[in-house]
Structure 1
């Protein structure tokens, strides 16, 4: 989830996988795949940077994840 700020300064978390598009005209508007629309104080570049950091964090966590015993059994079955 990324945290963004509404124009009234309330913050909320948003699932970046549901973002369809981001517009800047002049306020930054985030449109989700279900047509929900949010106007936020962050610039379009800031929102994109938050999404990039979020996705990089997910990839880094996955790369560092050692798995559990059930996944180890699956790996042995492949070899």
Structure 2
């Protein structure tokens, strides 16, 4: 999830996999795949950067889980 800010300064989290389009004219509008729209304070570039950081975190977490699984499998072979 990424956290963005509505125009009234309330923050909320949105699943970036559900964002279909981002408009900036002049306010940044997120359009979700179900047609829901949200106008946010962040710029289009900032939202795109947050989506990239979110996806990088997902990949890093997957790599960590895989490495931990490989290490655990190696330990059980040695001890077993």
TM-score of the pair, normalised by structure 2 = 0.83
Q: Structure 1 segments of 4 or more deviating over 3 A?
A: none
CA distance in 2, matches of 1:34, 1:42: 21
In structure 2, runs of 5+ residues without a counterpart are: 74-80
Q: How many residues align?
A: 69
RMSD: 1.3
Return the TM-score normalized by structure 1.
0.84
Greater C-alpha Rg: 2
For residues 1-79 of structure 1, the aligned pairs below 5 Å read 1-65=1-65, 66-67=68-69
Structure 1: stretches of 5+ with no match in the other structure: 73-79
